Amino acid sequence: MSSTVELTKENFDQTVTDNEFVLIDFWASWCGPCKQFAPVYEKAAEENPDLVFGKVDTEAQPELAAAFGIQSIPTLMIVRDQVAVFAQPGALPEAALTDVIGQARGLDMDEVRKAVAEQQAQQPQGSE
């Protein structure tokens, strides 16, 4: 039994809204590095049962891949409290994935939300 959830445009928003910590692996069946990363991701999912590990098949869900500007796969994204706190293309080795999960767990989400709000406030309004 897989510990990962297949994310689709139908269940994506609900999954991210209902869970405070979601990891998302954007992948495709033809992608060699994706296949190498899959067992590492699956193992991390088993070792972190309190977190949601989702997978987006970019071939089956092109709208989701486009919505997040996914240019290369695999791409790992971490969403906490509906804020993307990490996004990086490339297959991570097990130690790096463990480290990234630990860093994301340690984030002060109040600080992250404050930084996001400040960043949005600094962006010019209107389309020029």
> Which residues are tagged catalytic?
31, 34
Strands (E), 31-125: 52-57, 75-80, 83-89
- CB within 8 Å of 13: residues ≥ 6 apart: none
Tokens of 74: 């695999």
For residues 67 and 41, what is the distance between their CA atoms, to the nearest angstrom? Answer: 22
